[in-house]
Amino acid sequence: MNKKITGSEALLRSLIDEGVDTIFGYPGGAIMPVFDCLFDYKKKINHILVRHEQGATHAAQGYARVSGKVGVALMTSGPAATNAITGIADAMIDSTPIVVITGQVVSALLGSDAFQETDVVGISQPITKWAYQIRSAEDIAWAVARAFYIAATGRPGPVILDFAKDAQSDLVSYTPIKINHIRSYIPVPDIEPEMIVEAASLINASKKPLALVGQGVILGNAEKELLTFLRKADIPAASTILGLSAIPSAEPLNVGMLGMHGNVAPNLKTNECDVLIAIGMRFDDRVTGDLNTYAKQAKVIHFDIDPSEINKNVKTTVAVLGNVKETLSKVTGLLRANKHTAWRETFKEPYEKELKYVIQKELFPENGPIKMGEVIHKVTEATGNDAVLVTDVGQNQMMAVRYFKYQQSRSVVTSGGLGTMGFGLPAAIGAKYGAPHRTVCLFVGDGGLQMTIQELGTIMESGVEVKIILLNNCFLGMVRQWQELFYDKRYSETVMKNPDFIKIADAYGIPGKSVSERSELDNAISEMLQTKSAYLLEVKVEETGMVYPMIPAGTCVTNILLGNEK
Amino acid sequence: METKQKETLYTVTVFSENSVGLLNQITIIFTRRRLNIETLSVSPSAIEGIHKFTITTFSTRDIVEKVVKQIDKRVDIIKAYFNTNDDLVFQEIALYKVATNKLLEMGSIEDIVRRYNARILDITEIWTVLEKTGHYEETQALFKELSQKIGVLQFIRSGRVAITKSKVERLSDMLAAMEHKLGIRKLEVGS
């Protein structure tokens, strides 16, 4: 018989057995036994003290997205758990594997409206892959093993473990448990060989194929298989926002980003291709626009691990279920080596148009206020196009994902599905812990930064080296853009009176500089990158900057606004 | 928009592990799509440890298919299916509490019992409980006649229970296949 240990220690040992060495958390009443035990485990588990529980979940997301491991957040019950909800919902819609452990009141008080009691499992069921309440110390090893298995396998997602306080203190003999199957759960559906054959024959017969690359490729570690597939049949490929960095920016078959603020060519070509090959993506409305006019001419092949994505938004001709790492290789095996030179040539004209009317103006303006795009371009160049990009949400995000460049996978951390303002700063902290040897650059707006600005305290305390580039336009820029275009220039509540951000950073001991002149920009960027600590670079950018191209919401993907075509 | 499909009554059958909070996980999937649950019945299935939910809802094929996939996706759900009435043998049960004196005044109790194929479950001087099984229309017809003629003190109708007409026993076949694939211990299948 093992020596009995407390439930809290059993939790920490279970986590260590799952390979956890980093936790983002915040203590409180109903989780105190665990934090007390953590005091003895500091050498094995690095706990990063955040300043708000939402920050813990976003940091866990950032960590998971760059490392491919499960991110862990730890906090108390009640308000702590409800603060975590935004990050959990974000992880659900963006398929990010995180395990969130919340304290809970002692089991005897459950359901009695006890102090800091909230129905965490009930609240979180629609936004978790699995939510479980641990009421007995005997359950811990099993629940933790199951949580990690569920979070990480199949289509990943968030799991909540709601941990009753008495179970944290009760004694239990701990035996590690490893879970590798659950009767009711099929993480990866069986591959149907006839679908592989049908997909290959459609692609072989195709004259104008277009691949749409989603995060499924990154989650399935299928980057190499994807490139082999694309190169063999000479298929141009566009990415969704979360699929970015699955293919290097410099790859000739990479034709850019899809969607509302994506590149002109791939959006136009969606409605011209004869076979649309969707790979680990879910046809979000920001990608498709109006479904009634979306790719109607094309046969659609949909590779996905999640059967519920098939025919959810776009009717599929051939559905290839399974992990794309396997299914892509199998299809590639049946492909004829091919050339689509003429078809690929047709991407050039729309690209040139975008270059002339949008990109040149945004990246290389000669006069006037600093543009958002030019800041991003200069930062990506200065980092050798090999940094991790973290963004907040809004114009800063769209500009960053448009103009940042990548050489390796898992280089983009952004809130794609939920569009969570305030995601950026804590996610960047987590990303740096997940990829400690890479440079992490956060682009954030003045609005989003102020939603989770307290996490500057986390940076101060942990010393984590995050490069924060604040694109300050003194506006809630994306809302302002919509007001300009669709709400008759009525700028309702989008002007922001902002504090002195450099002083705030300074108060947290974070060096920084504010730049409003183009001539100062290069030096400021290189100072930021050379500084061996976190850094806040505030750039006062054009107040009325617009993100183009833009496909207005709910319209056809070919209805692309380029802004002022002069 | 896609061509408007006609709404039909679908029966959604869900087999799940017997864990806490399952019903909530299923119903929120209906709620999110503003689908009304017409009837619901939950009970242990023939297989020990596995629960069966039978849910009816008016919807289109397109929507019910998506709903079933979303239910199926939940970790604790073993399998979800949907059927129309044509695929199923189904039944509901209804209980009617009426005043005994009024029932006697109504004339022939035998006539009511025979015409509706009803049963008398309990009888006192004051009240009598009748039971009738059948489809909605059938249990409703008795309710209507009783309430018009003598009034019904209490009435309750169960959710639907249903059995497929298929020759294939889908759940036990699925479990057998899974067992084979995983090489795990034999899943106990009841008779």
Q: What ipTM describes this predicted complex?
A: 0.91
Q: Is residue B1 part of a domain?
A: no
Which position has the token pair 């609240």?
Answer: A123
> At residue A415, does pLDDT exceed 90?
yes
Average of per-residue pLDDT values in chain B = 89
Q: Which helix (H) or strand (E) segment is A480 a member of?
A: helix A477-486
Distance from CA of B75 to the nearest CA of A (A): 5
Yes or no, beta carbons of B24 and A311 under 8 Å apart: no
pLDDT tens-digit readout, A202-239: 999 999 999 999 999 999 999 999 999 999 999 999 99
At residue A565, the pLDDT reads: 61
Evaluate if residue A2 carries a pLDDT over 80: no
Residues of chain B positioned with their CB less than 8 A from the CB of A184 = 16-17, 75-78
- Reported pTM: 0.95
A148 — contact with chain B (CB < 8 Å)?
Answer: no
Q: Is residue B41 part of a domain?
A: yes
B177 touching A (Cβ < 8 Å): no
Range of the domain at B12: 8-83+162-190
How much of chain A is helix, strand and coil, in % rounded to 5? 40, 20, 40
Cβ-defined contact of A292 to B182 (cutoff 8 Å)? no
Q: Is B61's Cβ below 8 Å from some Cβ in A?
A: no
**Residue B188's pLDDT band (boundaries 50, 70, 90)?**
very low
Cβ-defined contact of B21 to A131 (cutoff 8 Å): yes
CATH number of the domain that B149 lies in? 3.30.70.1150
Residues in B touching A292 (Cβ below 8 Å) = 1-2
Q: For chain B, what is the domain count?
A: 2
Looking up residue B16, the CATH number of its domain turns out to be 3.30.70.260
Distance CA A471, CA A392 (A): 11
pLDDT band at B179 (very low <50, low <70, confident <90, very high): confident
Mean pLDDT of A45-74: 98
Chain A contact for B178, CB < 8 A?
yes
User: What pLDDT, on a 0 to 100 scale, did the predictor assign at position B4?
Assistant: 62
**Cβ-proximal residues to B3 (8 Å cutoff; 6+ apart), any chain:** none
Q: Check whether B187 has a pLDDT greater than 70.
A: no
For residue B36, being part of any structural domain is answered with yes
In A158-187, the residues whose Cβ lies within 8 Å of chain B are: 181-185
Q: What angle do CA A128, A129, A132 make, to 5 degrees?
A: 75
In this predicted structure, what is the pLDDT of residue A1? 55
pLDDT of residue B2: 46
pLDDT of B189 = 38
> Can you give the pLDDT at residue B183?
64
- Residue B73 and residue B29 share a domain: yes
**Do A29 and A116 touch, CB atoms closer than 8 A?**
yes
Q: Average pLDDT for residues B43-50, to the nearest whole number?
A: 89
pLDDT digits (tens, 9 = 90+) for B142-159: 999 999 999 999 999 999
Q: Which residues pair with A358 in a beta bridge?
A: none
pLDDT exceeds cutoff 70 at B107: yes
Q: What is the pLDDT of residue B154?
A: 97
pLDDT of residue B186: 46
Instruction: Select the residue of A131, A308, A311 nearest B73 (Cβ to Cβ).
Output: A308
Give the mean model confidence (pLDDT) for residues A503-524. Answer: 98
Residues B78 and B172 in one domain: yes
A311/B contact by beta carbon, under 8 A: yes
Residue A255 has pLDDT above 50, yes or no: yes
Q: Say yes or no: B151 and B106 in one domain.
A: yes
Whole-angstrom distance, CA of residue A479 vs CA of residue A134 = 43
Residue B2 falls inside a structural domain? no
Of the pLDDT bands very low, low, confident and very high (cuts 50, 70, 90), residue B185 is: very low
Catalytic site positions of A: 53, 115-116, 165, 478
Is position B143 within any domain?
yes
* B146 and B186 share one domain: no
If we measure between CA atoms, which residue out of A18, A46, A307 comes closest to residue A161? A18
In a domain, B3, yes or no: no
B68 touching A (Cβ < 8 Å):
no
Average predicted confidence (pLDDT) for chain A: 97
Give the tens place of pLDDT for each residue, A291-313. Answer: 999 999 999 999 999 999 999 99
Q: Is residue B121 part of a domain?
A: yes
